[in-house]
């Protein structure tokens, strides 16, 4: 069961019940995990053979084989793609979704399906597509086919090409408001503010604390992503917007390395907090 994001789930539930799903959605915002969880829940609601008809997205679980396969990113009718999960053979330590992945996705979608089943693609980290991959993916969006659904996630829709944004339904996954924040989040937010005002020694002390506490570190990364995205929105010209987008990409690269590669989390957090301080001061 998904907790939170009731507004987004109510909207998707309503469109699902009415049979009015669009062919492509973009779940964007600093809470990438929340957007991905909802994307998988939508896929489960459509492919689950244990239900006579799609149920509430919020109730999606892992009770049946189809739902477990979606959760594991291996369902034959729900392709999953991101930097760490290529569809085509890829070199190690890659940093973007390649055009070969999109070509493989197109090949899979060209195969016939039976029984009126849905064909779904979950493109996580859509803002990490190469320019050639984005061009190839655009052609897929332009000719989606029946009972075909694309679910994209990204840290910010502004980073994606306008041609793709214009062909998807964007749904924001913002950070929770101050009134909805947990006591732990409020305390962490105060710690981040105090560390910035305290200078480099305070930042390095906080980095050490976060490096040894993965759940707290994840919450801090979410908050920093929100602040950088707010900076992107405040940018007054294209030059400043591109600079802000590069800072978001840099932060995502560091966060991705901490999750997937055996790097020193203390060193990574040192770099991330110092660079973020420089950009937000």
Which structure tokens are listed for 73? 């990113």
List the single range of 46-60, 124-138, 189-203 with lowest mean pLDDT: 46-60
Query: What rounded mean pLDDT belongs to the chain?
Result: 82
pLDDT at 178: 45
Of 105, 89, 94, which Cα lies nearest the Cα of 260? 94
Whether 123 has a pLDDT exceeding 90, the answer reads: yes
Q: How far apart are CA 61 and CA 2, in angstroms?
A: 9
Task: Report, in this order, helix, strand and coil percent for the chain, each rounded to 5.
Answer: 60, 10, 30
What is the chain's alpha carbon radius of gyration, rounded to the nearest angstrom? 20
List the single range of 3-7, 94-98, 168-172, 270-274 with lowest mean pLDDT: 3-7
Q: How far apart are CA 255 and CA 142, in angstroms?
A: 33
Q: How far apart are CA 100 and CA 86, in angstroms?
A: 9
Q: Are 99 and 123 in contact (CB under 8 A)?
A: no
215-226 as b/e, with b when 16 or more CB fall inside 10 Å? ebbebbbbbbbb
Q: What is the pTM of this model?
A: 0.64
DSSP 141-165: HHS--TTEEEEEEES-GGGS-HHHH
pLDDT at 170: 92
What ranges do the domains of the chain cover? Answer: 6-172, 180-280
pLDDT at 177: 47
pLDDT class of 3 with cuts at 50, 70, 90: low
Whether 2 has a pLDDT exceeding 60, the answer reads: no
Greatest CA separation found in the chain? 62
Whether 150 has a pLDDT exceeding 90, the answer reads: yes
Whether 193 has a pLDDT exceeding 50, the answer reads: yes
pLDDT class of 55 with cuts at 50, 70, 90: low
Q: What is the pLDDT of residues 93-110, one digit of tens each?
A: 678 899 999 999 999 998
DSSP 225-267: HHHHHHHHHH--SHHHHHHHHHHHHHHHHHHHHHHHS---HHH
Q: What is the pLDDT of residues 205-245, one digit of tens each?
A: 999 999 888 888 888 887 787 777 667 666 667 787 778 77
pLDDT class of 92 with cuts at 50, 70, 90: low
Helices (H) and strands (E) in the chain, counts: 11, 5
Of 3, 4, 9, which Cα lies nearest the Cα of 177? 4
Among 3.40.50.300, 3.40.1280.10, 3.40.190.10, 3.40.50.150, name the CATH number for the domain at 6-172: 3.40.50.300
């Amino acid at each position: 069961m998904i907790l939170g994001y009731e507004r987004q789930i109510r909207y998707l539930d309503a469109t699902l019940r009415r049979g009015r799903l669009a062919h492509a959605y973009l779940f964007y915002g600093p809470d990438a995990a929340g957007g991905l969880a909802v994307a998988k829940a939508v896929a489960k609601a459509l492919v689950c053979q244990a239900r006579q008809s799609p149920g509430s997205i919020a109730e999606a679980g892992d009770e049946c084989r189809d739902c477990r396969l979606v959760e594991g990113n291996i369902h034959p009718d729900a392709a999953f793609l991101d930097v760490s999960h290529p569809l085509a053979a890829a070199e190690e330590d890659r940093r973007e979704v390649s055009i070969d992945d999109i070509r493989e996705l197109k090949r899979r979608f060209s195969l016939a399906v039976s029984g009126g089943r849905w064909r779904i693609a979950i493109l996580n980290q859509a803002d990490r597509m190469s320019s050639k991959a984005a061009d190839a993916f655009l052609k897929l969006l332009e000719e989606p086919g029946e009972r075909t659904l694309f679910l994209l996630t990204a840290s910010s829709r502004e980073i994606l090409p306008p041609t793709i944004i214009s062909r998807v339904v964007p749904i924001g996954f913002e950070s929770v408001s101050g009134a909805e924040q947990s006591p732990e989040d409020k305390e962490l937010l105060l710690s981040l503010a105090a560390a910035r005002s305290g200078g480099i020694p305070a930042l390095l002390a906080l980095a050490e604390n976060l490096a040894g506490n993965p759940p707290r570190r994840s919450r801090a990364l979410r908050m920093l992503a929100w602040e950088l995205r707010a900076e992107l929105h405040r940018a007054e010209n294209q030059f400043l917007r591109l600079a802000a987008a590069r800072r978001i990409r840099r932060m995502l690269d560091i966060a991705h390395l901490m999750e997937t590669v055996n790097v020193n989390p203390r060193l990574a957090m040192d770099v991330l907090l110092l660079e973020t301080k420089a950009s937000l001061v």
